[in-house]
A and B are shown apart, each in its own frame.
Chain A
Amino acid sequence: MTTSSSPVWQYRTRKQTLLRWLGWFWLVALTVFCWQLMNENTIWAFVSDAPAQAADIGSRMFPPAWSYVGELWQPLWDTINIATLGTLLGIMIAVPVAFLAASNTTPSVRFVRPLALLIIVASRSINALIWALLLVAIIGPGLLAGIIAIGLRSIGFVAKLLYEAIEEIDVTQVEAVRATGASGAQVIDYAIVPQILPAFWGISVFRWDINIRESTILGLVGAGGLGIQLNASLATLAWNQVATIFLLILGTVVVSEWVSARVRQAVL
């Protein structure tokens, strides 16, 4: 038995190994560089008393101002409305965009699809808070600005996940419905919609769940909801009120998460 004659198998070629080492080296170098940069821009005097500061704010937060809850129900209701109506608005626009963006349903891969993808990217690239900032400037402060901000931000999210679902459908079912002489609208109705419906409900409820969280802070820029109270409490250093708001947001998010989990379970 000579070892030289037995066939050699290597997981990676020499070149691949070298490239991987280079990649890791680059990552470590970047980390060291960033660490240095961070150290230069930090005022260590502030960091050193951080535990004391945290303890101080923590003690001011406790006990939460329970009586303040009475003033929060209306803003909470506004927040839920912003999230729900905004999600509906987003879905209404996202569904047609998704069909235009999916490569198997788009009327034109060259012209319409890039446009639909652009809408999706534009909507996704801007945070709801920034949308709200713009909209408050354009249509004034209030619920409407919040609803539209949430709606605009939701388009991209819902449309992207939905068009991916459309692209993954089983084409033989589509072929079978087409073979009966069905029109384009009927093919969508009978072959595509039934296949993407579970994904549609899952995505919509998930987005609604996210929107509840996002709409709690929109008030910071004047777009209605709990954020207005949060802003006011922060400005007056009323930390025990801030704590109450935090707890209320936490409760709301837990409930919305529970609802969304139940809905997703029901449609699968």
Chain B
Amino acid sequence: MLKLENVSKTYKTGDKALQGIRFEVPAGQVVGLIGPSGAGKSSLIRCINRLVEPTAGSILLGDTDLTRLNGRSLRQARRRIGMIFQEYALVERLTVMENVLSGRLGYVPAWRSFLRRYSPEDIGQAFALLEKVGLADHYNKRADALSGGQRQRVGIARALEQNPELLLVDEPTASLDPKTSRQIMRLIRGACQERSLPAIINIHDVMLAQQFSDRIIGLRNGEVVFDGAPDELTNEVLTRIYGDEDWTQLRGQESSEESTDGSSDAPSVDLAEGV
């Protein structure tokens, strides 16, 4: 379980990225974090695993207050939190297998990871995860030889290789086509359900967020302006989050897109089922 209490972040420039954020995420819940660009979604996710230092507040993962950790204890906490990135953030010149195994870095001494001597369990798990994301044959390819969708699958496998207690997902579909985006979201959601993992997913696409999350949190100017079920996202709420726009018309277009997309979902189900 993840619990945020009064989390604030003010950058050195004086920009107040986050102000008094508080919410809880129970095990297995997938939270879609939406909001306009610059609302603080990325800062919020990065405050949780301390890639960005929160200025105030506390973040509890289980019993650990993540904001109080330093050095070794921070690294040990980070390995409990898997992260999936926008634009994948794979190490491009390493192989797919090395990228997945890098999920174990927090558990393995430096000399072992340097010699790439991981335990048989770690390697077995990596193969199993690659199988599940549908990349079993690609383990020896270099990451930069893969397509966008394939790279993001490696990103998912890397995060799951950590055996995380929490998944942070930053714009996972930002540079993917609509169909691949849905496959990736389905994969993430499936993994969360199977492992009853809580997840926070930053996402720009409101329809995707509604379709794949249990709960939506809307952020605007660093503050939570909406927190509720996906079907409570009315036009009025969207206006509160993003500002004025002709939401009805946008929805109309997207829902017709949805219905055509539904039929093409069938061939990709095998990938989702495994996870």
The residues of A with any CB-CB pair to B shorter than 8 Å are 170, 172-173, 175-183, 185-186, 189-191, 194-195, 197-198
Q: Which of B68-95 contact A (CB under 8 A)?
A: 75-81, 83, 85, 87, 89-94
Known: A175-B89, A194-B94. A182 touches B83 (CB 8 A): no
State the CA gap A197–B92 with chains docked (Å): 12
Across the interface, which residues of A come within 8 angstroms of B114, CB to CB? Answer: 185, 189
Across the interface, which residues of B come within 8 angstroms of A197, CB to CB? Answer: 93
Ranked 8 nearest A-B pairs via Cβ: A181-B106, A181-B79, A182-B105, A176-B89, A181-B78, A194-B93, A172-B89, A179-B83
Is residue B162 contacting chain A, with contact meaning CB distance below 8 A? yes
Is the beta-carbon distance between B78 and A173 smaller than 8 angstroms? no
Known: A175-B51, A178-B51, A190-B105. 14 other contacts (CB 8 A): A173-B89, A173-B92, A176-B91, A177-B91, A180-B79, A181-B75, A181-B79, A181-B80, A181-B106, A183-B75, A183-B110, A186-B110, A194-B91, A194-B92
Is residue B180 contacting chain A, with contact meaning CB distance below 8 A? no
How near does chain B come to A172, taking the closest CB pair, in angstroms?
A: 4
The residues of B with any CB-CB pair to A shorter than 8 Å are 49, 51, 75-81, 83, 85, 87, 89-94, 98, 102-107, 110, 113-114, 155, 158, 162
State the CA gap A61–B89 with chains docked (Å): 62
How near does chain B come to A184, taking the closest CB pair, in angstroms?
A: 9
Across the interface, which residues of A come within 8 angstroms of B107, CB to CB? Answer: 181
Is the beta-carbon distance between B75 and A185 smaller than 8 angstroms? no
How near does chain A come to B117, taking the closest CB pair, in angstroms?
A: 13
How near does chain A come to B148, taking the closest CB pair, in angstroms?
A: 15
Closest to A176 in B: B89
Is the beta-carbon distance between B91 and A189 smaller than 8 angstroms? no
Is the beta-carbon distance between B91 and A185 smaller than 8 angstroms? no
How near does chain A come to B47, taking the closest CB pair, in angstroms?
A: 13
Across the interface, which residues of A come within 8 angstroms of B79, CB to CB? Answer: 180-181
Across the interface, which residues of A come within 8 angstroms of B102, CB to CB? Answer: 177, 180, 182, 190
Closest to A192 in B: B91
How near does chain B come to A84, taking the closest CB pair, in angstroms?
A: 26
| A175, A186, A194: most-surrounded residue (chain B CB, <10 A) | A186
Known: A180-B103, A180-B162, A181-B105. A186 touches B113 (CB 8 A): yes
The prevalent SS among residues of A at the interface is helix
Known: A172-B87, A181-B75, A181-B78. A189 touches B93 (CB 8 A): no
State the CA gap A189–B98 with chains docked (Å): 12
How near does chain B come to A26, taking the closest CB pair, in angstroms?
A: 41
State the CA gap A237–B162 with chains docked (Å): 74
B105 interface neighbour in A170, A172, A177, Cβ under 8 Å = A177
State the CA gap A181–B71 with chains docked (Å): 10
Across the interface, which residues of A come within 8 angstroms of B81, CB to CB? Answer: 179
State the CA gap A44–B155 with chains docked (Å): 74
Across the interface, which residues of B come within 8 angstroms of A175, CB to CB? Answer: 51, 85, 89
State the CA gap A185–B113 with chains docked (Å): 10
Closest to A181 in B: B106
A195 interface neighbour in B89, B93, B105, Cβ under 8 Å = B93
How near does chain B come to A77, taking the closest CB pair, in angstroms?
A: 36
How near does chain B come to A165, taking the closest CB pair, in angstroms?
A: 13
A179 interface neighbour in B51, B92, B93, Cβ under 8 Å = B51
State the CA gap A69–B250 with chains docked (Å): 83
Known: A172-B85, A190-B113. A181 touches B76 (CB 8 A): yes
Is the beta-carbon distance between A189 and B78 smaller than 8 angstroms? no
A180 interface neighbour in B92, B106, B110, Cβ under 8 Å = B106
Across the interface, which residues of B come within 8 angstroms of A182, CB to CB? Answer: 75, 102, 105-106, 113
State the CA gap A180–B162 with chains docked (Å): 7
Across the interface, which residues of A come within 8 angstroms of B93, CB to CB? Answer: 194-195, 197-198
Is the beta-carbon distance between A179 and B49 smaller than 8 angstroms? yes
Across the interface, which residues of B come within 8 angstroms of A176, CB to CB? Answer: 83, 85, 89-91, 155, 158
Is the beta-carbon distance between B110 and A185 smaller than 8 angstroms? yes
How near does chain B come to A187, taking the closest CB pair, in angstroms?
A: 8
How near does chain A come to B206, taking the closest CB pair, in angstroms?
A: 25
Is the beta-carbon distance between A173 and B83 smaller than 8 angstroms? no
| B49, B51, B89, B110: most-surrounded residue (chain A CB, <10 A) | B89
Closest to B114 in A: A189
Is the beta-carbon distance between A190 and B94 smaller than 8 angstroms? yes
State the CA gap A189–B110 with chains docked (Å): 9
A-B contact pairs, 11 of them (CB 8 A): A173-B91, A175-B89, A177-B102, A180-B79, A180-B158, A181-B77, A182-B102, A185-B110, A186-B110, A189-B114, A190-B94
State the CA gap A195–B90 with chains docked (Å): 11
Closest to B162 in A: A180
Known: A186-B105, A189-B114, A190-B105. A180 touches B89 (CB 8 A): no
How near does chain B come to A221, taking the closest CB pair, in angstroms?
A: 42
| A173, A176, A181, A194: most-surrounded residue (chain B CB, <10 A) | A181
Across the interface, which residues of A come within 8 angstroms of B85, CB to CB? Answer: 172, 175-176
